[in-house]
């Protein structure tokens, strides 16, 4: 599983900031954004995140760009994207997909 984590939040000081969107994104994230779709935010946090993300990208609903930290990508044994979860997804759904692919 690939998880886009937050830098500068204090939770993971050992990681440095990388580009996950745009022309300067690292190859892994270019591949992810070209091969997945944004499925939307869910839950209570969506009320907060939607307006914030819309300010950064008016067309945020129609592209695969990483919208927020802690987006999770599950890749299958063949190296194909199996599932994508936005940070607002409940962890139970993520765990179900992990079990499914194992």
Please name which of 55, 19, 52, 53 lies closest in space to residue 38, comparing C-alpha atoms.
53
pLDDT digits (tens, 9 = 90+) for 5-16: 666 666 656 667
User: Quick check: 87 pLDDT over 80?
Assistant: yes
Higher pLDDT, 85 or 47: 85
> Which residue, among 82, 85, 83, 81, has the nearest Cα to 67 in the 3D structure?
85
Pairing of strands 72-75, 2-3: antiparallel
Strands (E), the chain: 2-3, 72-75, 81-85
Give 72's strand partners.
Answer: 3, 85
Q: What is the pLDDT of residues 33-69, one digit of tens each?
A: 888 888 788 877 778 888 888 887 888 788 888 777 7
pTM for the complete prediction? Answer: 0.76
Share of the chain above pLDDT 70, in %: 88
**Lookup: tokens for 16:** 């440095």
């Amino acid at each position: 599983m690939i998880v886009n984590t937050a830098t500068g939040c204090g939770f993971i000081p050992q990681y440095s900031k990388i580009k996950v969107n745009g022309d300067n994104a690292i190859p892994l994230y270019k591949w992810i954004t070209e091969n997945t779709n944004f499925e939307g935010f869910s839950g209570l946090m969506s009320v907060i995140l939607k307006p914030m993300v819309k300010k950064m990208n008016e067309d945020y609903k129609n592209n695969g760009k990483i919208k927020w930290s802690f987006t999770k990508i599950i890749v299958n044994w063949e190296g194909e994207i199996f599932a994508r979860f936005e940070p607002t997804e409940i962890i139970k759904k993520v765990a179900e997909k992990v079990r499914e692919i194992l």
